[in-house]
Chains A and B, each alone.
Chain A
Amino acid sequence: MTPRAETRPHALVDHPWATKFLARRRSWDWHGPAEIDVFDADGSAVTDVLRDWQTAVFHTADGNHTLQEFVSSMADQYGDPAAAPADLAQTLLAETRALVEDRQVVELWDRAADLADDLDLPRSQRHLAGDKPAGDQPADQ
Chain B
Amino acid sequence: MRRAVSAKDPSRAGARPDTEAATDSPATDAAPIRRAVALSGLALGQGAALGQGAALGQGAALGQGAALGQAPGQQGADLGALRRQAAAHGGPTIQRMTVGGAPKASSVSGTTSAKHVMAEAGQAADAEAGYGSRTYVTSEATLTAAVDANAHNFAAGPARSGRVDINASVPIYQYDKTNAPPAGMAAGQPVARSINGVATNCEIGAVKTGAGDVSITHFKKV
Q: Are A34 and B111 in contact (CB under 8 A)?
A: no
Q: Are B20 and A122 in contact (CB under 8 A)?
A: yes
- Counted as pairs of residues, one from A and one from B, with CB atoms less than 8 Å apart, the total is 152
Given the known inter-chain contacts A56-B132, A56-B181, A77-B177, please indicate yes or no for A131 contacting B215, CB distance below 8 A: yes
Q: Are A59 and B20 in contact (CB under 8 A)?
A: yes
Q: Mark A12-29, 1 if CB is under 8 A from B, else 0.
A: 000000000000000001
Within 8 Å of chain B (Cβ to Cβ): is A99? no
Partner of A121, one of B25, B114, B181, B187: B114
**Which residues of B (137-179) have their CB < 8 Å from a CB of A?**
160, 162-163, 165, 176-177
Q: Are A33 and B26 in contact (CB under 8 A)?
A: yes
Q: Are A124 and B111 in contact (CB under 8 A)?
A: no
Q: Mark A129-141, 1 if CB is under 8 A from B, else 0.
A: 1111110101000
Q: Are B17 and A114 in contact (CB under 8 A)?
A: no
Is the contact region of chain B dominated by helix, strand, or loop, or is it mixed?
loop
Partner of A34, one of B80, B176, B187, B220: B187
**Which residues of A (67-89) have their CB < 8 Å from a CB of B?**
69-70, 72-74, 76-78
Q: How far is the CB of A109 from chain B (nearest CB, A)?
A: 11
Within 8 Å of chain A (Cβ to Cβ): is B110? yes
A52 to B184, CA, bound (A): 10
Q: Are B2 and A112 in contact (CB under 8 A)?
A: yes
A residues with a Cβ closer than 8 A to B are 29-34, 52-53, 55-56, 59-60, 62, 64-65, 69-70, 72-74, 76-78, 111-114, 117, 120-122, 124-125, 127-134, 136, 138
